[in-house]
Amino acid sequence: MKNRLDEARAIINSVDKQMADLFIERMKAVEIVYEHKREHGLPILDQNRENEVIERNSASIEDELMKEYYIDYLKNLMSISRSFQYRMQNGLKIAYSGVEGAFAHIASGRIFPKGNRIPHRDFKSAYEAVAKGECDVAVLPIENSYAGEVGQTIDLIFSGGLFINGIYELEIHQNLLGVEGSTVESIKKVTSHPQALAQCHEYIKSHGFDTEDSNNTAIAAKAVADSKDKSIGAIASVETAEIYGLKVLDKNINKSGENTTRFAVLSKVRAKTPSLSNSVLMFSVKNEAGSLANAISIIGKYGFNMTALRSRPMRKHSWQYYFYVEIDGTTDTENGKNMIEELKQVCDKLKIAGTFAPHTEI
């Protein structure tokens, strides 16, 4: 006759067998989820989705102590799922513009920690690498809080076939870097990208440094490292200093502490994911009186709030412009579909350029 311990262990063994079968079934579903994320250029971690899973599944457990442990169990299970996806992500090819240590390189690594980051000489070549199927996604800057929009990227999105499947905000900290043995006092000249030099103008002026433009902050850092000159400094990130073996002589020297660059993840397929709650529209309007006002009115008519509106010149048409718009909400709803149909009546060209979750910091 079995005692209570044996009976309890028999129940545990039976449940464990069921859990093993369910675990395999769950992980196969996770694999499908990952393939969707890869195809659409989405990051592995979707915090909103994980919070929703925890809230929904723990709601039916009334015992507070059991609920506490069940939530821990779910968190561990989702951590395992992410780890499994990261292992599969090793083959993900990410195109970015610049060299190792550039801010796009840093942003790519934070969005796709296990991906294979592939440098390209400029925005266009990184974009085309995805369009041609050589890379899975591109990570390109679209706006800086100090310098404004990155027109080259916006133009590529408007004219090309890739979609935005996420916009991520990277806080930019500029630092004075030098070779081993150098000091702030030994530096006579600093080199960096013109935007970085402009951001640090007051610091540069107060120290009386000469300046030299570089194509990229990371390229500037590499040049200083190669020169071994104690009188030349580079302005770049701490990560860049580590990559090129430079010493951080002074931290956070940029003019404004609120220096943020927004990076877009671009891929061939437009994602339709609930967590991507905002949309990007791009359009040119017909050459008729009131066309732009009509387009803006239509967006408002269907209850969409515009969070950004920018104009860009059309390269092949002098004195004509297209417009970049960010809105709260998606175009997959009935309201959104009706808005798009009405916009088509006043627009020459209209593109649903993508979706993103607002204010996603990396």
SS3 143: strand
Distance CA 214, CA 221 (A): 10
- Tell me the CATH number at 315: 3.40.190.10
**83 falls within a domain:** yes
Check 153, 217, 240, 261 and give the catalytic one: 261
Q: Based on the domain organization, do 271 and 355 belong to the same domain?
A: yes
How many independent structural domains does the chain possess? Answer: 3
Q: Which residues pair with 250 in a beta bridge?
A: 176
Contact partners, residue 342, CB within 8 Å, separation at least 6: 298, 301, 302
Q: At what angle do helices 47-58 and 64-89 cross, to 10 degrees?
A: 150
Q: Which helix (H) or strand (E) holds 288?
A: none
Q: Based on the domain organization, do 328 and 352 belong to the same domain?
A: yes
Going by C-alpha positions, the residue among 52, 40, 36 that lies closest to residue 85 is 36
Q: Which helix (H) or strand (E) holds 14?
A: helix 4-40
Q: Is 263 a catalytic residue?
A: yes
Q: Name the one residue in this structure whose structure tokens are 């709260």.
A: 328
**Pairing relationship of beta strands 116-120 and 93-97 according to DSSP bridges:** parallel
- Tell me the CATH number at 85: 1.20.59.10
Q: Based on the domain organization, do 216 and 73 belong to the same domain?
A: no
Q: What is the DSSP string of 158-173?
A: HHSS-EEEEEEEEE--
What pLDDT was estimated at residue 189? Answer: 95
Query: Which DSSP symbol is given to 6?
Result: H
User: Between the CA of residue 151 and those of 84, 163, 314, 340, what are the distances in Å?
Assistant: 37, 16, 11, 25
Q: Based on the domain organization, do 279 and 311 belong to the same domain?
A: yes
Q: Which residues pair with 169 in a beta bridge?
A: 262, 361
**255 falls within a domain:** no
pLDDT per residue rounded down to tens, the chain (362 residues):
568 888 888 899 899 889 888 888 888 888 888 888 877 777 788 888 888 889 998 888 888 998 899 899 999 888 888 877 876 766 788 999 888 888 899 999 898 887 889 999 888 999 999 888 888 889 999 988 776 778 889 889 988 899 988 899 998 889 999 999 999 999 999 999 888 888 898 999 999 999 999 888 888 999 999 999 999 999 999 999 999 999 999 998 987 667 888 999 998 888 776 666 788 998 988 777 778 888 889 988 888 888 888 888 877 777 787 889 999 888 888 888 998 998 998 888 889 888 888 777 78
Q: Is 112 a catalytic residue?
A: no
Whether 120 contacts 215, CB under 8 Å = no
- From 219, 250, 281, give the residue that closes a domain: 250
Name the region of 29 (left: φ>0; alpha: ψ -120 to 50; beta: rest): alpha
Distance CA 321, CA 317 (A): 8
Q: Based on the domain organization, do 16 and 157 belong to the same domain?
A: no
- From 250, 268, 299, give the residue that closes a domain: 250
Check 103, 263, 304, 356 and give the catalytic one: 263
Name the region of 166 (left: φ>0; alpha: ψ -120 to 50; beta: rest): left
The alpha carbon torsion through 212, 215, 217, 219 (nearest 10 deg) reads -100
pLDDT in tens, 172-208: 889 999 999 999 999 999 999 888 888 898 999 999 9
The alpha carbon torsion through 263, 267, 271, 277 (nearest 10 deg) reads 10
- From 70, 89, 108, give the residue that closes a domain: 89
Q: Based on the domain organization, do 111 and 59 belong to the same domain?
A: no
Q: Based on the domain organization, do 161 and 110 belong to the same domain?
A: yes
Domain with 135, as residue range(s), is 93-171+260-361
User: Between the CA of residue 215 and those of 64, 97, 349, what are the distances in Å?
Assistant: 58, 11, 34
Q: Based on the domain organization, do 275 and 328 belong to the same domain?
A: yes
Q: Which residues pair with 97 in a beta bridge?
A: 120
What pLDDT was estimated at residue 1? Answer: 54
Q: Based on the domain organization, do 351 and 275 belong to the same domain?
A: yes
SS3 202: helix
Q: Based on the domain organization, do 234 and 351 belong to the same domain?
A: no
